[in-house]
Amino acid sequence: MATATATGWLADLTDLYTPTPSQFDGARTHRTAIESRLALHLGVHDMFEIGSLRHGTGVWQFSDADYLVSLSGRRPESPWTVLNKVKEQLQARFIGTNVVVRRPAVVCRFEDGDVEVVPAYPSASGYWIANPADGWMLTHPREHNVYVTRVNAKHEGSVKRLARQVKVWKYRRNVPISSCYLEMRTAQHMDGEASYVPLWDLYLTLKKMRDAGLASLNDPTGLGSRFGACSSEANRVAALIKLDTAVGRALKAKDYQIDGDEPSAIAQLKLLFDR
């Protein structure tokens, strides 16, 4: 990237990490086999695509194809019970594939792309899924997509680009924060803004999360449970250290740009995104 301005450099980075429409077609071909196996052994009400690829905030080389599978029967007391059952069934079906639990999902690491399967139980409103932190959480994935899309339309597509940038930072810097949490925090920030300024809003999004101490986020739609940021307290502490560094670099990039020093602003962005 040899763009002369920091805003241009950031735009190029975002374009670089934007998946092509067909990138995950291979991974998506496993859906029928996954659904059939779980329907036979556990019972399935419904299965549909969720996550960043569905929302248009996926990251090239890092994002997975994500599916929520609504299971039959009673919800067990511990989400580990159903996560382990789903893992057991998928490992038996795909013997040569590495299948792991990464709460709230079971991940099948296929050669043509990872597929995340999120076990869920229907409620009167939404679905119960494993909370990345602990226990169960109530989620409304379709409504969350509508919310993010609405805020994105308000800012003419900039919100999903900003969410992708924050996720690129997460993946490039190996930060143990939930992608869903980052997306909803980004949308919540931009929902309160009258306009979008690339470096300013990148800085403010990171800063607000840092200042909140990566606390759980109330569902902006008012429908579901709070969004947890990390799967453990140790991960939250580790993520905050990296987040504090990121805020400092984003602040410097923004200030250098205001001062007209585009090369220094770009240098800070390169440090921020490990480029």
> Which of 44, 49, 51 is CA-nearest to residue 67?
49
User: Which pTM does this prediction carry?
Assistant: 0.85
Torsion 180-184-189-190 (CA) sign? positive
Residue 58, in any domain of the structure? yes
Same domain membership, residue 97 and residue 76: yes
- What count of Cα atoms within 13 Å lies in the side-chain half-sphere of residue 211? 7
Same domain membership, residue 211 and residue 135: no
Same domain membership, residue 264 and residue 219: yes
Residue 82, in any domain of the structure? yes
Using the structure block, give the residue that is written with the tokens 């029967």. Answer: 73
Distances (CA, A) of 100 to 90, 107, 192, 268: 10, 5, 38, 36
Give the chain's domain count.
2
Domain end residue (candidates: 88, 120, 139)? 139
Distances (CA, A) of 144 to 44, 92, 119, 169: 22, 33, 18, 22
pLDDT at residue number 190: 96
Residue 1, in any domain of the structure? no
Same domain membership, residue 149 and residue 13: yes
Torsion 187-149-32-123 (CA) sign? positive
Domain end residue (candidates: 90, 114, 139)? 139
| pLDDT digits (tens), the chain, 275 positions | 456 899 999 999 999 999 877 766 767 788 999 999 999 999 999 999 887 766 678 888 887 788 999 999 999 999 999 999 999 999 999 999 999 998 889 999 998 888 999 999 999 888 999 987 778 988 888 888 889 999 999 999 999 999 999 999 999 999 999 888 999 999 999 999 999 999 999 999 999 999 999 998 888 887 767 888 888 899 999 999 999 999 999 999 999 999 999 999 999 999 999 99
Residue 133, in any domain of the structure? yes
Same domain membership, residue 152 and residue 128: no
Taking every pair of Cα atoms in the chain, the longest distance, rounded to a whole number of angstroms, is 63
Same domain membership, residue 265 and residue 158: yes
Same domain membership, residue 163 and residue 107: no
Q: Read off the CATH number of the domain in which 114 is found.
A: 3.30.460.90
* Segments forming the whole domain that contains residue 108: 25-139
10 Å Cβ neighbour count for 3?
14
Domain end residue (candidates: 139, 157, 185)? 139
Same domain membership, residue 254 and residue 169: yes
Same domain membership, residue 208 and residue 99: no
pLDDT at residue number 232: 87
Q: Exposed e or buried b for every residue in 112-136, given b needs 16+ CB within 10 A?
A: ebbbbbbbbbeeeebbbbbbbbeeb
Using the structure block, give the residue that is written with the tokens 């300013």. Answer: 200
Do 253 and 265 form a contact (C-beta atoms < 8 A)?
A: yes
For residue 200, what are its two tokens? 């300013």
Residue 164, in any domain of the structure? yes
192 Cβ contact partners less than 8 Å away, ≥ 6 residues apart? none
pLDDT at residue number 69: 96
Same domain membership, residue 147 and residue 131: no
For residue 237, what are its two tokens? 């502490």
Same domain membership, residue 82 and residue 180: no
Same domain membership, residue 129 and residue 39: yes
pLDDT at residue number 58: 83
